[in-house]
Amino acid sequence: MNKKNKQRINVVYSTNPNFHYEEASEEQATTLVPNQQKLYVSIDRKQRAGKEVTLVEGFVGSDDDLKELGKMLKSKCGVGGSAKDGEILIQGSFKQKVFDLLIAAGYSQTKQKGGN
């Protein structure tokens, strides 16, 4: 099966000569500019065996832009982490540092959540 046929959805075969296949389209979310992003920085310990992670939530945009921001934050903090589903996880307790980095990068609507 070629790539074009894999994108066709809800039809196995049609005898109608005028039939047009629905193509599966990948919708790419448009990324908001940094000063319009409403990000929330917090420390999370849930379901992590007691280990702390810094969590950045609320990113609106494409996965590539999210991963790029996550990569920048991880390299500035010198630790690992992940970026997926609109969230960035930074290993360790770097809430204030991540907050400061986001403000410096133009994410002016960033807020801190929770104690610590």
For the chain, give every domain's residue range: 27-112
For 73-87, what is the mean pLDDT? 93
pLDDT of residue 9: 58
Closest by Cα among 44, 31, 47 to 112: 44
Q: How confident is the model at residue 11 (pLDDT cuts 50, 70, 90)?
A: low
Top-confidence residue, 20 or 102: 102
pLDDT of residue 49: 84
Homologous superfamily of 27-112 in CATH? SUI1-like domain (3.30.780.10)
Closest by Cα among 115, 116, 112 to 41: 112
pLDDT of residue 25: 55
Q: What is the pTM of this model?
A: 0.72
pLDDT of residue 107: 93
Q: What's the token pair of residue 104? A: 């410096």
